[in-house]
Structure 1
């Protein structure tokens, strides 16, 4: 951690000045209707989407923001009960909330509620008439699985929590809400299983959220940078996912999930390096198939980080390690190239990143075309022009494919980013530079923590029990205890498994 801290921290200590707390002030409502309406209109700078409907010959008023409220709900919840004779007045409508704090009433307007004010009374009635524009809870495009659930989070935090609660129908599931952002008032939810999650980690997360004093929080990515242990590290310390089943699995291990209004992404903490290589598919297939696929992913990590650097070190400094049968083809491939292998690799890696970014930003049909045409045309053209060797094309292509195997898009980006410094070190110092680079990365990972949990758990510190679900995935009935790195309060996850087999043998 010290290396990366010194690398990025060139200026003086960061400014510690914080924005004043946006706590809700207590402003009592007036008994004069016109005074209350003027106060609200002036507070909202007389915005034109704030509507005031005068009722009872000017003795009452209904206020709502038409861009947030739904007209049909106003008619159904407020006026229809009166017209049908179910209630005598608006104030007697059930499920309404009463307050005497006008600031609280204005906050409810911003949530899409309607408020009712009467002349001669300081009580303000609030009605939930929020307009809902929600997309379907479809499977996330960047976290597809072959088997398992095919629904995903959306931008509505209440629907997202509903997807979690439908999978955990238990009273121990706790949801706590926080308002973060002085101007945006973003709704943040902290979700955990009481009795399983560590109270110290829960308290640590809640304290960090309360300590965030900013104007805006637009997504969990904003919150992540404010509360993670080492924001200067290139490695993500909180697992982000759009899959409800993934969130539920981690909650049952004793971890904590964070959700934000307006974002389909949930953050999971504490997280370890090996969690980023786990996928729901691992547990939805046979255990040996899941183990095989997971080993493929871990091998892709070594290829994505080290293959270009190893190739450059070999052809630039250590040609003698190439087998005799390959010396001639490799030499013939690079003999006519005008640039050294270091420049070759940097150019090709940059081209791959450009093609990738272009494919993401363009519409899907065009993006796929760019990827195919760009890869074929540019790859063939640079080889024919003698700018890049055939072997370098193979190396860079394997590196790009290996980086895409990682289930986490954030860690995949980190691996591609780390390729550049390792290429530079190998191109200047050979294997010595490669070893130095890998050593710095290993030391950094060993020192890194996620909310007090070592990032390389269960390897450092070593826990043989948790290796059952790290490099390999043993059968679920053998995972009788929860992983230690989550600091669960209850270790036992499987009390009895395959008892029918033991009972069957005893009967025989």
Structure 2
């Protein structure tokens, strides 16, 4: 860390040496000597962070061609510049892609942004595909991400607050909200938590989320992570806040509710009946993902009388010679599913497709023919996996699959009673959970009748002008 009290001197060489010492004489710290109006100057920059063509065209050429007595900031062609007398500010700007111009006899430095512009092009997020709507996504450049929001929300009340987190990385973090729409209570909580973050490094939005959310031990995320600018903009218009971390395309939305994780932009781009139907399907998929294997185990082990005789006979014939109890069958197949999913994610796409086919067909058929697992269990686990993948946000789907394990355990010991007890504990946890002071199950708990409309079904928008007429 650099002492913030260190000031620049009027000796140019001394200032240059202080900067070089702060960077420990790194090889990519370059300097260039210039002469402006018979005054010796030095231009310093980090070679790996700047665009040298911009330096040559906008700074060096204008300075060398100028023959009149004037200050450098009136000569250079940069849109922005900063004057500073502090070494800490100088070092910070150099690390952000600026160049520093020192002049003999001047105890200030002119800092000019000339950062290199090598970034990934704007493209649709692979994890949040939609059928109807915008097809652009956030990138790793935080300024470009703010541009994508401002292009959608052309409102002078849109505020951007910037923070620098991580004593080692000095990562830029931006907080966006619409001043006259935002809910002040959650915003104040969010601001205090961001300002209280004290870590050595900050690399991604996931790290920041873990540091500022209400309960980091819960399986349920309390901030929504998205790569879609249209989704982030819609939440801003609802009075929520958006947090961006430089270097990652995932932005965080807060405060958020449980039901928001099962909504997509497609809901609002489709007719209200279609959007409502698929939203209800997603809600039902969450219940399937956490309880379907447990219900199967409870029925087979304790409550076979609830099944029609024909179905009961078919299941009994299948499991008669299976050496493992249904509980171990379910746990083993759930773990195999997670292994196959993890392998498919980590491997290159062509190999991942092969793994999916091998895992789904060859291994599934082999374990059934070998008599280790019943056909019914394969169907149950497959339906559970499909139901968990329906969740638009991957974290929620993964949390649902993990939550299924304790419910399976409860069903194995107590049958339907165990499932009811486990789901009751889960409901109590969700009711107690908060997102920056807002109840996680709002508007169901506490109950708000008006808010329930848009949680389970997509309400039809009304034309204000038609309403007035």
- Class of the TM-score when normalised by the shorter of the 2 chains: over 0.9
Deviation at 1:54, TM superposition (A): 2.3
Residue in 2 that maps onto 1:122: 107
Q: 1:33 is matched with which residue: 5, 8, 12?
A: 12
Of residues 455, 466, 469, the one that matches 1:498 is 466
Provide the rounded CA distance (Å) in 2 between the counterparts of 1:168 and 1:368.
Answer: 40
Would the aligned equivalents of 2:66 and 2:75 in 1 still touch at CA under 8 Å? no
Match of 1:173 among 143, 150, 158: 158
Partner SS, residue 470 of structure 1: helix
Query: Which residue is equivalent to 1:93?
Result: 75
- In 1, the alpha carbon distance for the partners of 2:349 and 2:377 equals 29
Match of residue 59 from structure 1: 40
Report SS of the residue matched to 1:221: helix
Mapped to 2, the partners of 1:355 and 1:426 lie a distance apart of: 25
For 1:476, what is the secondary structure of its paired residue? Answer: coil
Find the counterpart in structure 1 of residue 230 from structure 2: 245
**CA displacement at 1:324 relative to structure 2:** 1.3
Contact 1:82 1:89 in 2 (8 A): no
Extract unaligned runs of 5+ from structure 2.
none
**Offset of 1:384 from its aligned partner?**
0.3
Deviation (angstroms), 1:228? 0.9
Can you list the C-alpha shifts for 1:166-200, whole angstroms capped at 9, x where unaligned? Answer: 00111010110011111111111110011111222
Structure 2 match to 1:383: 368
Q: Which of the residues 354, 376, 385 maps onto 1:400? A: 385
- What is the CA distance between 1:83 and its match in structure 2? 4.7
| SS in structure 1 of the partner of residue 152 of structure 2 | coil
Q: Distance in 2 between matches of 1:359 and 1:415?
A: 19
Alpha-carbon offset, residue 432 of structure 1: 1.9
Give the Cα–Cα distance (whole angstroms) in 2 for the partners of residues 140 and 93 of structure 1.
42
Separation in 2 of the partners of 1:400 and 1:255?
32
Distance 1:256 1:58 in 2: 49
Q: 1:146 is matched with which residue?
A: 131
Match 2:268 to one of 283, 295, 311: 283
1:24/1:104 contact within 8 Å kept = no
- For 1:92 and 1:396, the matched residues in 2 are separated by 70
Q: Does 1:360 align with 2:345?
A: yes
Quote how far apart the aligned CAs of 1:90 are: 3.9
RMSD: 1.7
Mapped partners of 1:347, 1:471: distance in 2: 34
**Does the aligned pair in 2 maintain the 1:115–1:125 contact within 8 Å?**
yes
Which residue matches 1:134?
119
Match of 1:296?
Answer: 281
Q: How far off is 1:137 after superposition?
A: 1.1
Paired residue secondary structure (2:83): strand
Pick from 449, 453, 459 the counterpart of residue 464 of structure 1: 449
1:46 to 13, 25, 40: 25
Q: From 415, 422, 425, give the equivalent of 1:440.
A: 425
Mapped contact 2:189–2:437 kept (Cα < 8 A): no
Instruction: Name the TM-score, length of structure 1 as normaliser.
Output: 0.88
Out of 416, 424, 431, the residue aligned to residue 431 of structure 1 is: 416
The offset of 1:92, in angstroms, is 3.5
Give the structure 1 partner of residue 436 of structure 2: 451
- The CA distance in 2 between the partners of 1:270 and 1:91, in whole Å, is 43
2:186·2:438 contact (CA, 8 Å) conserved in 1?
no
Q: Following the alignment from structure 1 to structure 2, what is the Cα–Cα distance between the partners of residues 239 and 215?
A: 25
Corresponding residue number in structure 1 for 2:172 = 187
- Asked if 1:104 corresponds to 2:95, the answer is no
In the alignment, the residues of structure 1 paired with residue 119 and residue 172 of structure 2 have an alpha-carbon distance, to the nearest angstrom, of 17
